[in-house]
Structure formats: structure tokens, C-alpha cells
Amino acid sequence: MFPKPWVRQMQAVTYILLIILLYTALERYIVKLGQTHPGNNPDVVVFSGQSNQDQQDEQKEGQQENQHDILIDLNESMLYLFENNKLIHKYPVAQGKTSTPSPVGIWYITNKARNWGSGFGTRWMGLNVPWGVYGIHGTNKPGSIGRRASAGCFRMRNRDVEELYSIVPYKTKVVVYGGPYGSMGSSFDKLEPGDRKSQVAEVQKRLQKLGYYEGSIDGIYGEGMKAAVIKFKRENNLSNDHYVDWATYKALGIMPFE
């Protein structure tokens, strides 16, 4: 027999809490943003065009203790809002298309603005993803909610994003869970120079851990990573090229369902 709906809901909430705790444990080595203003952090994209009211909101929120966490499950196209580890709201979202996937990982809200731009609905919350401009925002295309329809951002119904905007403080943690392959997201893409995505960041981490890569973990496949990939593949008897293919993932220890 299938479990009752309330049992399934409790199982889902427990599962989401475990994911948040796991991500939190994995990031203990990272220096928290804490008292650091994002304008001093080169990895944070700070957007211009804020009103005085938005800037005042950020200053007030920066002084508050952050008791909120957001988890976005790309399997369900759902955003979960927690307060003191208790689920208080959940909202459907639109996520990135297959060709422009949403960024998997642990991020922070580094910017908040009202009516940020055309097509972004009534509220914008920018994330500190180093390889591009991504955020949680409203939309003028509510029919896209629940689908893979965006350029990587997380679209919400305007009434939902306004409610979320009013609750979460500046620097709120946003955990994006990507699918069955954990930090790799939902697929093992063949990578090449110029790519910008979560898979690149994961390969950079593995190459750095093995002593081949000394650059930033920024999710951008540049020349430094290219040299590291070529050296790694040569020393592990793989094809002599710069592509990160299935054999390269396997040699790096990046496997499905790890």
C-alpha cells in the first residue's frame, strides 16, 4: 500500500531538512559572509539602480540575525522556506531550461530590489553565483511556473515573490539541489573551454583537490582549467584533449548516485 498523503508530506519535509543539514556541514570550511558587505567580495555580483528604500532595507536586514534558509529542489520545481529549521512556506518556481540550467550549490542573497527590470516581475533577489547573473524574481509569464523555462533564474508568481521578499533578510542562504547527481545537478555534460555551469565548478574542485588546478572555483572553464584538464588526462592515460567527458568524470571520481 502507498503511504497516506500526510505521511508523504512529512517524509518530504524530513528529506529537505536533511539536505540542508548536509550542505551546511559541507560548507563549514567556507568563511561565512557574516559581517562582510558584498561590495567588498569579488565573487559577489552587486547590481546598481537600487532605490534609497532598497538600500535602507538591506542595511536593516544586515543587522538582523539570519534565521531563514531557502531550499530550491529542481526535481520538483519547488522553493521551500524554513525558519529555525521549520518549514513555513513552499512556492512553485520556474527553473532554467536544459540549455541554460539553474546553478546548483549553496548561494546567498546579495541584492534585493523592487521592480528591478522589465520581465523580472515586482521583486528581485540576486544570488552570488560567480559565473553569471542569477536570482529569484517575479515574472510577467506566470504560465511558465513549474517548468524549465528560464535562462537559469528562478521565477515566481509575483504575489509569491512579494511575500518571500518581505520575509527573508539580506544574506539569506539559498541551497539549490539539482537532482540525482548531487552537486553535478541532473546531468553529466561534456565540458569544454568557455562553459559556465555547476558541473565546471565541481570538476574544478576535484582537480584542485588532486593538485592539478590552482585557480578559483568559479564555474568558468578558462585557460587555467584547460591546462589542468589536459595535464590530468595525459597523466591518467586518457584522450589527449581538453574535453571533460565521461571517462574524465570517472577518473576524477565523479560518478552517478555517489
Cβ atoms within 10 Å, residue 224: 15
Q: Are strands 148-150 and 95-96 parallel, antiparallel or unpaired?
A: parallel
C-alpha separations of 202 from 40, 43, 199, 254 in Å: 25, 17, 5, 9
Q: Are 82 and 68 in contact (CB under 8 A)?
A: yes
Whether 89 is a known active-site residue: answer no
The residue annotated as part of the active site, out of 68, 89, 137, 242, is: 137
Q: Are 228 and 219 in contact (CB under 8 A)?
A: no
177: nearest Cα among 123, 224, 107, 232: 107
Whether 153 is a known active-site residue: answer yes
Element (H, E) at 173: strand 173-177
Q: Are strands 134-137 and 123-127 parallel, antiparallel or unpaired?
A: antiparallel
Q: Are 158 and 139 in contact (CB under 8 A)?
A: yes
Q: In angstroms, rounded to a whole number, what is the distance separating the alpha carbons of residues 230 and 208?
A: 14
Return the SS3 of 53: helix
Q: In angstroms, rounded to a whole number, what is the distance separating the alpha carbons of residues 80 and 61?
A: 20
Q: Which residues are catalytic, by number?
A: 137, 153
